[in-house]
Structures are given as C-alpha cells and as structure tokens.
Amino acid sequence: MIPLPKGFSVTGVRCGLKNKRNDLGMIVSDRDAKSAGVFTTNQVRASCVDYSRTAVGSGALRAIVVNSGNANCCNGEQGVRDTQRMAELAAEGLGLDPGSIAVGSTGVIGQLLDMSKVEKGIREASQKLGQDVRTFMDAILTTDLVEKWAWTNPGRKDVVSPQSLTQRQHAATQEALVIGFAKGSGMIAPNMATMLGYIITDADVEGLDLQAILKRAADASFNCMTVDGDTSTNDMLILMANGASKKAATEEEFESALTAVCVSLAKQVARDGEGATKLIEVRVQGSSDPKKIARTIGESPLVKTAMFGCDPNWGRILMAAGRAGVPFLTSDVRLSLIAADEEHVLFEDNAPASFDPKRVSSALKSDQVVIDLRLGAGDSATVYTCDFGYGYVRINAEYHT
C-alpha cells in the first residue's frame, strides 16, 4: 500500500481522451499548501505550464488536475482558454478558487482538447477523491511501462520505491511523509516524452524557501537525467506542502528527503526510457564541469548503442568525454564500468587496460550499469540515462500522424 500524506486525497478516472486506462487525475489538499514548481525551459510550451507557474506563485495551492492523452500544446488561444476551463471545472467540483489549482497535460500536440470529455472527467473525479494512489498514477502515465513513485520521511535516508528491497510501512502517526509520483519517457503519440512530477508532503515547512529547495533537488535529479536529450513542451515538477502532520522538518532534513525522492524518481524515469533495457549512471569525477562531460556521454548515441549491445567500447566513451568542451588530459583518465557487482577498468595510465571483453560484455547484460570516469582533481557529477536500442526506433518511428 502506497501511503499518502495527511490532508491529501487523490483520484484518477477515465474520461475517454485515451483508449485505455485512466486519463484524468487529481491531487487535492484539504487546506492551503505552500508550493513550488520547476517548469520546462522549452520556448514552445503548453498553456498549462504558464497557468501552473502562476498558480504555484499564488502561495496557496489547493489542487492539481492533470489529463493525459492530449498535451493541449500549440493550440493557440483556444488552448489557453481550455487550460483555464480545466481549472475552473476543478474549482467548481471542489469548491475552490481556480487560481489555487495547477493544471498539467500530456499527450498529443496540436489537437484541441475534447472539453466535453474533460468536463465529464473532472466532475467525476471531484466526486471520487480518496486514498488510492494507483488510480492517480494510472491517469498520468501514457506508454510508460511502469508506475513511478518514491517516498521517505524527513530525517530518514532510505527511500521506498518500486525498486527498494524493503517495503517498510509509513508510520503515519509518528512521521511526516514526502512522496512523489512521476511519469515520463514513454512515448506519447505522436510527439514526445513529457516528464511530469508531483511531490506532496504533510511536513511542516514553515519558514523554508521551497522554491530554492525544489530547484536544487531538481538540479540534482531530473536535471541530471537524459533519455534522448529532448525537452518536452509540457514538463513540470510541482511540490505541495500542507503542514498537516504538524511535524516540523529542518531545511536539511526536508531537502535531503525531497532530493532522495527526486533522485529515485529520475532513476525510475531513465530506467523506463523508451526502448531501454538498462539504467546507466554516468559518474564523472575530477573536472571543472563534470556534469557537462557526464551529460555529453549520457546523450551520445554511440555510447548508448554500445551499452545496448553490451559492448565495453571505451573508445566511444572517451570520444564523448573529449568533445564535451571541458579540458582534461588523456593521461589522467581512469575509466571503468561497474555492473553485476564487478568493476572493470577499461583505460588508465594513458593506455587501454587489459580486460576480458567477454566477461565485461557479460556483466553489461545487467539492467544497471555505472560508467565511472575519473579525470584527476575537481568536482563530481552523476547523470542518469538509459541505453538506446531497436525499441527506441520502433516506438518513435512506427507511429504515423
């Protein structure tokens, strides 16, 4: 059972924007929540992005309404009106102010929303609020293969997620809860992989600068993740903190919990990347701009296809590092792959290391691989990505508008 923070209820219903599964979801707080948001940097963006940025900026968010199956993007003035109407419908159903409601959309670009379906869905959802998180997650997923969620408590280090080995229970009476839901990297016909993330908490975060904390957490997680380097028009990450647990979290406790949840979600999104067979962590150590190098490796189609093929192709990794535009010396490079509990050094002391290609290739069949690149003295960064195989092409080429 996936827990919910106190004072929150959720739901998801099917209104017909998609053929199967739920397509309209809601998160509602029974009291004003402090909030923060991080939004797509793409200049071509959906009207819901602008609307939600304003709602988050109002200082007292009460609800989030999201549809999947249609991104309501590039729809001109009608699109703007439809986003506004979604908030108004939710406000009517919930007895709230439309300005206190954030709106998310994900799906096809350039087709008007069928507002009769949306209206029916929002009315129904307003009546069905409850504690069943899965109905909500189902409503925001598109062709994601799995649900993505993660939770922890401020002050604790371990995160509970679909991947965690121990599924401990949330002690609702004793601790505040930080939980996040995400969708992303499944193909959204006919367009792109929107990343939606919603994080809710009942921790008392009075006095904390949530926007700054969320931005740092996003920089350490979602902004360290890449599937194909493309950025959706509809990406958004929203945090709601309603304080209902009355348990205060220090900035350090809260930021640590929030970041852990975001990192877990980002890894789940990368692992479920289109056509992916494995999660790849690119760790770069000892550089003036390790993130730039890690991202260049993580976005290199040659590296990603090599990982798909379980090929310990260190030349491609060095090539990608070298073209990132950040200075280093080849003579300082140590490159290894970590997979299946084995570390294999591929390059060091200015020369290829002696390794058994078959053994490394076999280790690379693991569903989780670390590319570890050390360049001397300097900072460290990690980027999360996935491999790149036939599935990506199939998902993205075999759709016809």
- The catalytic site residues sit at 194
CB atoms closer than 10 angstroms to residue 264: 24
Amino acid found at 230: D
Side chain identity at residue 307, one-letter code: M
Residues in the chain, total = 401
Task: Identify which of residues 299 and 372 has a Cβ nearer to a copy of itself in the complex.
Answer: 299
DSSP-assigned beta bridge partners for residue 351: 348
Integer Cα distance of 67 and 18 in angstroms? 10
What count of other Cβ atoms lies within 10 Å of the Cβ of residue 116? 10
Number of H helices and E strands in the chain, helices first, is 11, 14
Query: Nearest distance from residue 254's CB to a copy of itself, in Å?
Result: 31
Q: Quick one: tokens of 179?
A: 């939980």
| Closest distance of CB 120 from a copy of itself, Å | 25
Question: Contact, 102 vs 56, CB < 8 A?
Answer: yes
The C-alpha atoms of residue 372 and residue 323 are separated, in whole angstroms, by 17
In the complex, least distance from residue 317 CB atom to a copy of itself, rounded to whole angstroms: 10
Residue number with CB closer to a copy of itself (57 or 309): 309
User: How much of the chain is helix, strand and coil, in % rounded to 5?
Assistant: 35, 25, 40
Sequence-ordered list of residues with C-beta below 8 angstroms from that of 307, at least 6 positions apart, any chain: 278, 280, 364, 369, 387, 388
Residue ranges binding a copy of itself (CB under 8 A): 41-45, 73-76, 108-111, 190-192, 228-233, 299-302, 305-306, 308-316, 318-323, 325, 327-328, 330, 347, 350-352, 357, 361, 388-390, 392-393, 396-401
Nearer to a copy of itself, 240 or 310 (CB): 310
Least distance from a copy of itself to the Cβ atom of residue 112, Å = 10
DSSP string, 120-185: HHHHHHHH--BS-HHHHHHHH-SS-SS-EEEEE-TT----B-TT-S--PPP-TTT---EEEEEE-S
When the beta carbons of 130 and 357 are compared against a copy of itself, the nearer one is 357
Residue 95: CB atoms within 10 Å: 8
- Closer CB to a copy of itself, 255 or 299, in the complex: 299
Shortest distance in whole angstroms from residue 143 CB to a copy of itself: 14
* 84 versus 164: smaller Cβ distance to a copy of itself: 84
Which is nearer to a copy of itself, 136 or 328 (by Cβ)? Answer: 328
Helix 290-299 vs helix 314-322: crossing angle, to nearest 10? 130
Estimate the crossing angle of helix 301-308 against helix 314-322, to 10 degrees: 160
Considering the complex, what minimum distance in angstroms separates the CB of residue 259 from a copy of itself? Answer: 25
Amino acid (one-letter) located at 166: T
